[in-house]
Copies of this chain bind each other. A is one copy, B any other.
Amino acid sequence: MPKLWNETIAEHRRTVREATLETTAALVAEHGLASVTMSQIAKETGIGRATLYKYFPDVESILAAWHERHVSAHLEHLTRIREQAGTPGERLEAVLHAYADITHERPQHTELAALVHRGEHLAHAEQHLNALVRDLITEAAQAGAVRDDVAPGELATYCLHALGAAGGLPSKAAVHRLVAVTLAGLRTSRPAPDAMGAAQSPQHAATPGGSSSIPPHGPGRHAAHARQSTDT
């Protein structure tokens, strides 16, 4: 029974917490999500089961903490990428690509999220992630690189869900294609003068022949913008 004792109590608690998360991650990777129990985690970590209950109330909160920690790390990573120079469009693309890579390498997180989100509506870090992408999209939209007929928040949700598909893709090349497709959905809608648009969606106002192809932030927003969502 390793004691895991450190100098101060506070430091010790932190150590045990970390070890617990580490162990849990290993167990999840080995036996899958459903088969992870408090008993196993305690035994594997080397602490008493009752002790474990003084750190976490149940398995779900352990998984949530682990998930949160990872998402935070990824968030930090993505934030650094966002800080790099470039046009808003380039930075958005870089961030989305990085996110897709993360999802591709750790598809488990998508599954975990479904479990964790049961309790709370959305994890904090995940909200930050959404906000990060949303702000980038807002910038890019102001620069004219991204459509502005849909609220940035909704576009961010779209991006994160679409890139979630990276978890099931087999190759890096496929991930790259996915990012390209997802970005295509973000682009300023085409004026679509040619025949194709007519054939596709003749009646609905998706491409209402918006006068100038990309009005950056003109005063006269066209009707589509009024339709922009105000809801969450």
Inside 8 A of A40's CB, which chain B residues have their CB?
A: none
Q: How far is the CA of A90 from the CA of B202 in the complex (A)?
A: 10
Inside 8 A of A177's CB, which chain B residues have their CB?
A: 149-150, 154, 227, 229
User: Is A73 an interface position by the 8 A CB rule?
Assistant: no
Binds B, one of A10-18, A43-51, A109-117: A109-117
- The answer to whether A198 touches B194, judged by C-beta atoms less than 8 angstroms apart, is no
The interface bits of chain A over 2-45 (1 if a CB of B lies within 8 angstroms of the residue's CB, else 0) are 00000000000000000000000000000011100000000000
Inside 8 A of A115's CB, which chain B residues have their CB?
A: 33-34, 111, 114-115
Binds B, one of A64-72, A75-83, A168-176, A214-222: A168-176
Inside 8 A of A198's CB, which chain B residues have their CB?
A: 206-207
Q: How far is the CA of A168 from the CA of B130 in the complex (A)?
A: 13
User: Is A178 an interface position by the 8 A CB rule?
Assistant: yes
Q: Among B113, B117, B170, B196, which residue has its beta carbon within 8 angstroms of that of A201?
A: B196
User: Is A157 an interface position by the 8 A CB rule?
Assistant: yes
- The answer to whether B231 touches A174, judged by C-beta atoms less than 8 angstroms apart, is yes
Which residues of chain A from 182 to 198 have a CB within 8 Å of any chain B CB? 182-190, 194-196, 198
CB distance from A77 to the nearest CB of B (A): 22
Task: Known A114-B110, A118-B34, A207-B195; judge A162-B171 contact (CB<8 A).
Answer: no
Q: How far is the CA of A118 from the CA of B47 in the complex (A)?
A: 29
User: Is A223 an interface position by the 8 A CB rule?
Assistant: no
- The answer to whether A158 touches B178, judged by C-beta atoms less than 8 angstroms apart, is yes
Q: How many copies does the complex hold?
A: 2
Inside 8 A of A194's CB, which chain B residues have their CB?
A: 201-203
- The answer to whether A195 touches B206, judged by C-beta atoms less than 8 angstroms apart, is yes
Q: How far is the CA of A3 from the CA of B197 in the complex (A)?
A: 60
Q: Among B162, B173, B231, which residue has its beta carbon within 8 angstroms of that of A182?
A: B162
The interface bits of chain A over 110-152 (1 if a CB of B lies within 8 angstroms of the residue's CB, else 0) are 1101110110000000000000000000000000110101100
User: Is A1 an interface position by the 8 A CB rule?
Assistant: no
- The answer to whether B34 touches A199, judged by C-beta atoms less than 8 angstroms apart, is no
CB distance from A145 to the nearest CB of B (A): 6
Among A158, A164, A178, the one with the most B-chain Cβ atoms within 10 Å of its Cβ is: A158
